[in-house]
Amino acid sequence: MTAAVSIRDLDIELGFGASRRLILDGVALDVPQGACFGLVGESGSGKSTVLRCIALLLRGWSGDIDINGRPVRDIPRAEYCRQVQMVFQDPYGSLHPRQSVATALFEPLRTHKLDRHQERAEAALADVGLPGDFLYRYPHELSGGQRQRVAIARALILDPSILLLDEPTSALDVSVQAEVLNLLSDLRTKRGLTYLLVSHDLAVIDHLCDQFAVMQHGRLLEVLPREAIANLQVTNDYSRSLIQASLDYDRAI
């Protein structure tokens, strides 16, 4: 089956002048359709940069990124947005503080010339477990978890098949994290979505992902099945130490 996301030889240099350097070095991965694929690794290893290249938020990368079998550079922007959406760590960043939830949800519908804004927006809120009257609220009138639910509703309102999730729960209180993870899990099952999920938290990867890749210094070291977290069947020493450190941390708290 064609991969939902296929990446080959992805390189990017970022920075200016003397601080310009290679941030991604030959990254390659395949995310099967309907799968949840995790990206883990230490801070600065390049996880978010991979997502930002796929989301076309960064230019100047080289290599191949294919979405459902088509090179991303050949997909018209509007069509791309209807296939791939991104959810960020901090919903304050993706929701404009002076825009109501209605404005945030109507905007993509307007841009893509879709009708029945009210009905679609209320349905999108219901899908993420929020009542329709939340349309008239502003971001500061929502809890962190509710804000992230609105950000997920906004990402899903164009009915994409692929979500890029960049630490979607790490800005939330621990008690709310599980709710949002369960929501993401249910949405994936109901809609047959494909997720590419960045997280520093292996418990999140264990909860949601079928497979995950370990990154270090801009390189992808290996791809592992979810079970590798529990059974530590890992070939690479760095991956083993990363997983071991996370297991030790979980035991300590």
Ligand X SMILES: Nc1ncnc2c1ncn2[C@@H]1O[C@H](COP(=O)(O)OP(=O)(O)OP(=O)(O)O)[C@@H](O)[C@H]1O
Q: Which spans of this chain sit near ligand X (rule: CB under 6 A)?
A: 14-15, 23, 41, 43-49, 200
Shortest separation between residue 167's beta carbon and ligand X, angstroms: 7
Closer residue to ligand X (CB): 80 or 88 = 88
| DSSP states of the chain | --EEEEEEEEEEEESSGGG-EEEEEEEEEEEETT-EEEEEESTTSSHHHHHHHHTT-S---EEEEEETTEEGGGS-HHHHHHHEEEE-S-HHHHS-TTS-HHHHHHHHHHHTT-S-HHHHHHHHHHHTT--GGGGG--GGGS-HHHHHHHHHHHHHTT--SEEEEESTTTTS-HHHHHHHHHHHHHHHHHHT-EEEEE-S-HHHHHHH-SEEEEEETTEEEEEEETTHHHH---S-HHHHHHHHHHHHHHHH-
Shortest separation between residue 234's beta carbon and ligand X, angstroms: 19
Closer residue to ligand X (CB): 122 or 201 = 201
Closer residue to ligand X (CB): 153 or 202 = 202
Closer residue to ligand X (CB): 22 or 102 = 22
Centroid of chain to Cα 100: 24
Shortest separation between residue 193's beta carbon and ligand X, angstroms: 22
Closer residue to ligand X (CB): 58 or 81 = 58
- The whole-angstrom separation of Cα 53 and Cα 26 is 13
Closer residue to ligand X (CB): 181 or 215 = 215
Shortest separation between residue 43's beta carbon and ligand X, angstroms: 3
User: How long, in residues, is the chain?
Assistant: 253
Shortest separation between residue 10's beta carbon and ligand X, angstroms: 12
Closer residue to ligand X (CB): 20 or 110 = 20
Shortest separation between residue 9's beta carbon and ligand X, angstroms: 17
Q: Taking the CB of residue 94, how many other CB atoms lie within 10 A of it?
A: 18
Shortest separation between residue 63's beta carbon and ligand X, angstroms: 16
